[in-house]
Amino acid sequence: MTTLEGLAHGLAVALQPSILIYSLLGAVLGTLVGVLPGIGAMAAITLLLPITYYISSEAALVMLAAVYYGAQYGGAVASILLRLPGTPQSAVTTLDGYPMAQQGRAGVALFTAMISSFAGSMLGIVILVLLAGWLSRLATSFGAADYAAMMVMGLVAASTIGEGRMAKSLAMVVLGVILGCVGTDVNSGAQRFTFGQVQLLDGINLVALAMGLFGLAEIIGNIRKAERDGPPARVTLRQLVPTRDDLRRIVAPITRGTALGGFFGALPGTGSTISSFLSYALERRVARRPERFGKGAIEGVAGPEAANNAASITAFVPTLTLGIPGDPIMALMLGALVIHGIQPGPMMLQAHPDMFWGLVVSFGIGNLFLLVLNLPLIGIWVSMLRIPFHWLYPAIIIFVCLGVYSVRGSTFDIVMVAAIGAIGYALTQAAFSPALLLLGFVLGPLIETNLRRALLVSRGDPMIFLERPIACGFLVATLALLIYGLLKRSDRGSTSSKVAD
């Protein structure tokens, strides 16, 4: 199937009324959770995951993906109006978006965020289509050793490029991989770490783990924090109109942000949060008057917003073509695909063209929905920000309980979510990343399978990892990342600590 045929095929899938409705629903829900500080895309997707058991796999993935990129739009609203990032990806938007709002330019900042997000997503789709075909052709020559090495590189990349100290990040990844071992071993049938519990035979439930780590831990941390000083300013449609000077200023940052986000999104292990930080740093570096940044520079909103949306689209490249999720949200998407009996990987383009091309086209349609809806609806989103968190979180807790219960009617899983939630919150407070734990949990079993397979092929000779050029290349890159992580220390902390204040 050529790209054009694929797109035509995808259009036929994505334009089905039921798919359109789920795309719209996902986009609106995503914006909503993005706007409301305290519930991220991660929590929203885990909450919706059980519901997707009841709908078709195309509709499910289209909806979950729409929640993901919809949250990027919504996240900017809270960042600009309240200096409270609705999602981690939009944290950097607070730096210049909030000063713009204080100067009475909230409307222009919101317009910039939305148009940049849209442009970033659309260009991201082009990159996705070009890269996915190429990568899936390349990936057919991958062997088990190459897969194992690539996944190890992805995990190490996520640990070293992200925030925080490397030892702590790597420890979370390893802990996640260990949790992934729980359950029946596929190769030998041995029950590992089940301690006689029947409920653990299938392993720890992905939904329970993600809901505990993200849903609950986020709620606990936000109950006190989310109380705000005052209601946000009102924004009218007229205020959204940018000046000619504004428009001239945002074109280049959008282009640069998209290129950056498109590239980093497609690499396994780096995600949209990192892309938005890098884009901000880049814009400040190329600016003629860098001192404007942090005081309401429109470029500081346009670049990162384009970058994080482009990255969230191209993040599907390694997930769909290699079966390797680059970030925890993609790990959940992978989980959702597997639940629906679809194994992502090099064969996916051929084996499930409906899914692949339908998803690609739905990205475009969903983003169009977001742009068309969100500009006029901005007043509604702003008024959403007035709902105090204490009205919301008890209801969210109920949704968490019912969502987990619905997966397999087990109250054991609810109790497990409670325990995981407490641990997840404690880990966050001690500056450990629960997101990396989830990434390790999803990739761990895949690494073990491929490792075993590779060693079986080589008759137990570990040199197979160095003799195959692809595997060796990934391992050299892993080593380079580890050295980079050791040298880095905390020099990148400057931008991120500013956001945290």
Partner 1 sequence: MRRDLHDLGWGAALALTGLAVAGYAFASYDMGSLRRMGPGFFPVTLGLLLAGLGALIAVPAMGRPGRPRPFAWPETIAVVAALLVFGLALDRLGVLLTTALTVLIASAVAPRRGLGWRLVLTVAVTALVWLVFVRGLNMSLPVWPGALR
Contacts with partner 1, residue ranges (CB under 8 A): 54, 165, 167-168, 170-171, 174-175, 177-178, 181, 185, 187-188, 190, 192-193, 216, 219-221, 223-224, 227, 388, 390-391, 393-395, 397-398, 400-402, 405-406, 409, 411-412, 414-415, 417-419, 421-422, 425-427, 429-432, 448, 451-452, 455-456, 459-462
CA gap 164, 433 in Å, rounded: 8
Query: 3-state class of 36 per DSSP?
Result: coil
CB of 488 to partner 1, least distance (A): 15
Residue (168 or 488) nearer to partner 1, CB: 168
Residue (171 or 347) nearer to partner 1, CB: 171
CB of 163 to partner 1, least distance (A): 15
CA gap 318, 443 in Å, rounded: 13
CB of 421 to partner 1, least distance (A): 7
Spatial contact of 227 and 388, defined as CB atoms under 8 Å apart: yes
Residue (81 or 454) nearer to partner 1, CB: 454
Name every residue whose Cβ is closer than 8 Å to that of residue 223 and which is 6 or more positions away in sequence: 389, 390, 393
CB of 362 to partner 1, least distance (A): 24
Residue (161 or 216) nearer to partner 1, CB: 216
CB of 251 to partner 1, least distance (A): 42
Spatial contact of 277 and 285, defined as CB atoms under 8 Å apart: no
Residue (114 or 177) nearer to partner 1, CB: 177
CB of 464 to partner 1, least distance (A): 11
CB of 346 to partner 1, least distance (A): 25
Write out the two tokens for 145: 């050793």
CB of 327 to partner 1, least distance (A): 21
Spatial contact of 133 and 7, defined as CB atoms under 8 Å apart: no
Residue (186 or 351) nearer to partner 1, CB: 186
Residue (36 or 113) nearer to partner 1, CB: 36
CB of 159 to partner 1, least distance (A): 10
CA gap 300, 293 in Å, rounded: 7
CA gap 318, 322 in Å, rounded: 5
What separation in angstroms does the CA of 331 have from each of 8, 188, 208? 28, 26, 14
Give DSSP secondary structure letters for 201-248: TT-S-HHHHHIIIIIIHHHHHHHHHT--SSPPPP--GGGGPPPHHHHH
CB of 53 to partner 1, least distance (A): 11
CA gap 28, 335 in Å, rounded: 23
CA gap 274, 433 in Å, rounded: 14
Beta bridge partners of 183: 192
Residue (135 or 181) nearer to partner 1, CB: 181
Residue (139 or 442) nearer to partner 1, CB: 442
Residue (406 or 495) nearer to partner 1, CB: 406
CA gap 220, 296 in Å, rounded: 32
Residue (59 or 254) nearer to partner 1, CB: 59
Residue 125 sits at the vertex; the CA angle it makes with 123 and 130, to the nearest 5 degrees, is 100
Dihedral angle, C-alpha 161, 346, 69, 364, nearest 10 °:
140
CA gap 272, 89 in Å, rounded: 6
CB of 496 to partner 1, least distance (A): 16
CB of 298 to partner 1, least distance (A): 35
Closest CA to 149 of 413, 472, 493: 472
Residue 442 sits at the vertex; the CA angle it makes with 444 and 167, to the nearest 5 degrees, is 65
Residue (341 or 391) nearer to partner 1, CB: 391
Instruction: Report phi then psi at 492, rounded to 5.
Output: -85, 0
CA gap 341, 363 in Å, rounded: 22
